[in-house]
Chain A
């Protein structure tokens, strides 16, 4: 009995303390000790971070290793660059067509992103706001188009590209990349357009604005975050594209970075790991930089597309 009372008293004593701790906005985290938290949260997070980032670290240090230290783990610690060299980078930039590939990738990614955004903005506006007859079905079929993987399209597309005389030209890529960009961007932008109040448009309609004016002067300025998300996403998707570029292009001067690195830097049985890693690193850096500026938009685009 007395034990019960003291327990109750404890409870009463504890109660007023709790809210103060809650203010540190950790929810009910104050119930967990620091040690448990280290083992259950920080330790696994550290392992995840290490595993997810290690390949990049490995890529980077291999780029700057000289050949003798690259293959000798006994004399030189493999985890650090003992005598950094730019030989691999120099070889990549001056002895291969790498600068051309970078330029091609940039050109193709920018053009196809631009085409895709233009088409998607108009399509998304039509589906979401003009609500013409059957717009719901068009929206669903756009979603369906998003689910068609390039791996089942590349063979028929290759025969088409050949017949159209586009084989081995940048146009083959610029025109085919929008097939996977438009469905994604349209779907993403539809979500953004939906969040813009319809009243704004009605006002403009009453004031005599045309639909194109409404789209250009009212909807688009309000959908800028969505446009950035879609643009960044489309750019990264086209930068990363591989199977179309591998199939539709064969001469060195029109190759993109992923294809060029795989098909031309790998020659015979001797792999030049240093310059291969340099090629991988310099192909990854542009997207990584772009991404670092727009992380929030990127995450919003990714989660938005999944949630819608």
Chain B
């Protein structure tokens, strides 16, 4: 009897088909499963990333391969006042827009976290600015900022607050604040809904306890909401800063970098020089110059995540 069983078992153990062996080898299987994603990402993400760095070190133009020229592009950018103007504008744009997105987004999140009617409906319609294609809503802003037919100017004149139409996009600083306003408008819903998800995880009993102890609404926010929300704030704001810093669409549609380069961000300047201007190498160098700032933002996110572990009871 025993012998019979053995005879059946042995061939099974040694004669595993290739498929069955593969099924048990997680390493081989893992590589196989990763293959489609890895091919696309390596070919169209990692390789171009390296190619971009290389392009920045050559003198490539559209329709003409370039030769290695070392840091020449960076040297000429260093003496390029338009480039420095775009760096300053980008930092200003990111700082101001992120501040308002954070402040207004957090406010909206706190409001939506109240016990209000039609809460999910409100949440749904307030997300609209974020899901609608940015270029298309940017066109609406362009029209709202029109110098002759701006509805904002018209309304303010009718209310008697100003006496002549505001030149939203013709004046340098006005244009900067106009595009910042459009960016904030688009970014608020993302910040608000993400923070709302964080707020909903905070137990109401904490607020009840604090209220009974006589805490004011501000104290409740400062000592309960804010500390418990910091991990998620760190991540949301990192994303927000990252996407604001590399913003392209809004500027391209509303001002194209004008008036006189006043609203050029690094991304739009890089596009301007590389595609219509044909200076691929210079464009790539400008794009690569954004990397140090982005790495800074990612490090902030990393430390935000660290704190999260600590708050969950793990070690620092």
| Interface residues in chain A, defined as those with a beta carbon under 8 Å from any beta carbon in chain B | 25-29, 31, 41-42, 44-45, 48-49, 51-53, 55-56, 58-59, 62, 70-71, 73, 78, 115, 118-120, 122-123, 125-127, 130-133, 135, 138, 142, 145, 147-160, 175-176, 178-179, 182-183, 186, 210-211, 236, 239-240, 242-243, 246-247, 257-259, 261-262, 271, 273, 276-277, 279-281, 283-284, 287-288, 291-292, 295-296, 298-299, 302-303, 306-307
Q: Are A182 and B40 in contact (CB under 8 A)?
A: yes
Instruction: Choose the segment among B3-11, B77-85, B126-134, B166-174 that binds chain A (4+ C-beta atoms closer than 8 Å).
Output: B126-134
Q: Are A179 and B290 in contact (CB under 8 A)?
A: no
Q: Are A130 and B140 in contact (CB under 8 A)?
A: no
Report Cα–Cα, A142/B37, bound state, in Å.
10
Q: Are A149 and B243 in contact (CB under 8 A)?
A: yes
Report Cα–Cα, A151/B49, bound state, in Å.
11
Chain A residues near B239 (CB, 8 Å)?
Answer: 306
Q: A178-B44, A283-B133, A306-B236 are contacts. A152–B253 as well, Cβ < 8 Å?
A: no
List 19 interface pairs A-B (beta carbons < 8 Å), by A numbering. A28-B207, A48-B108, A49-B125, A51-B185, A55-B141, A59-B143, A122-B34, A147-B242, A149-B290, A155-B275, A158-B274, A159-B280, A160-B47, A236-B131, A242-B135, A246-B252, A295-B124, A299-B127, A306-B232
The chain B residue with its CB closest to the CB of A43 is B111
| Closest beta carbon of chain B to A172's beta carbon, Å | 10
Identify the 10 closest CB pairs spanning chains A and B, nearest first. Answer: A132-B30, A303-B197, A126-B33, A149-B246, A151-B267, A156-B48, A123-B37, A156-B51, A258-B135, A119-B37
| Interface residues in chain B, defined as those with a beta carbon under 8 Å from any beta carbon in chain A | 19, 23, 26-27, 29-31, 33-38, 40-41, 44-45, 47-49, 51-52, 55, 60, 104, 107-108, 111-112, 114-116, 120, 122-129, 131-137, 139-141, 143-144, 146, 149, 151, 154, 185, 188-190, 193-194, 196-198, 204, 207-208, 211, 232, 235-236, 239, 242-243, 246-249, 252-253, 267, 270-271, 274-275, 280, 283-284, 287-288, 290-291, 294, 298
The chain A residue with its CB closest to the CB of B212 is A28
Extra contacts besides A56-B128, A132-B31, A283-B133 (7): CB < 8 Å: A26-B115, A49-B125, A53-B125, A70-B149, A130-B33, A155-B270, A160-B47
Q: Are B33 and A123 in contact (CB under 8 A)?
A: yes
Q: A130-B30, A149-B242 are contacts. A122–B55 as well, Cβ < 8 Å?
A: no
Q: Are A298 and B44 in contact (CB under 8 A)?
A: no
Report Cα–Cα, A27/B244, bound state, in Å.
37
* Contact with A58, one of B19, B111, B120, B151 (Cβ below 8 angstroms): B151
Chain B residues near A175 (CB, 8 Å)?
Answer: 40, 44
Chain B residues near A149 (CB, 8 Å)?
Answer: 242-243, 246, 290, 294
| Closest beta carbon of chain B to A32's beta carbon, Å | 9
Q: A28-B211, A152-B291, A277-B143 are contacts. A55–B49 as well, Cβ < 8 Å?
A: no
Q: Are B111 and A132 in contact (CB under 8 A)?
A: no
Q: Are A261 and B126 in contact (CB under 8 A)?
A: no
Chain A residues near B19 (CB, 8 Å)?
Answer: 210
Report Cα–Cα, A48/B193, bound state, in Å.
13
Report Cα–Cα, A28/B149, bound state, in Å.
48
* Contact with A44, one of B107, B208, B267, B280 (Cβ below 8 angstroms): B107
Q: Are B140 and A59 in contact (CB under 8 A)?
A: yes
Report Cα–Cα, A103/B268, bound state, in Å.
28
| Closest beta carbon of chain A to B169's beta carbon, Å | 12
Q: Are A153 and B149 in contact (CB under 8 A)?
A: no
| Closest beta carbon of chain A to B203's beta carbon, Å | 11
* Contact with A152, one of B194, B247, B288 (Cβ below 8 angstroms): B288
Q: A284-B132, A292-B124 are contacts. A135–B140 as well, Cβ < 8 Å?
A: no
* Contact with A126, one of B29, B127, B133, B149 (Cβ below 8 angstroms): B29
The chain A residue with its CB closest to the CB of B141 is A55
Q: A119-B36, A210-B19, A288-B128 are contacts. A78–B248 as well, Cβ < 8 Å?
A: no
Report Cα–Cα, A130/B25, bound state, in Å.
9
| Closest beta carbon of chain B to A201's beta carbon, Å | 12
Chain A residues near B112 (CB, 8 Å)?
Answer: 45
Q: A122-B34, A147-B298 are contacts. A287–B132 as well, Cβ < 8 Å?
A: yes
Report Cα–Cα, A240/B120, bound state, in Å.
24
Report Cα–Cα, A150/B242, bound state, in Å.
11
Q: Are B45 and A145 in contact (CB under 8 A)?
A: yes
Q: Are A151 and B287 in contact (CB under 8 A)?
A: yes
Q: Are B140 and A280 in contact (CB under 8 A)?
A: yes
Q: Are B131 and A298 in contact (CB under 8 A)?
A: yes
| Closest beta carbon of chain B to A265's beta carbon, Å | 9
Q: Are A155 and B52 in contact (CB under 8 A)?
A: yes
Chain B residues near A291 (CB, 8 Å)?
Answer: 127-128, 131
Q: A179-B41, A261-B135 are contacts. A156–B115 as well, Cβ < 8 Å?
A: no
Chain B residues near A160 (CB, 8 Å)?
Answer: 44, 47-48, 51
Chain B residues near A158 (CB, 8 Å)?
Answer: 274-275, 280
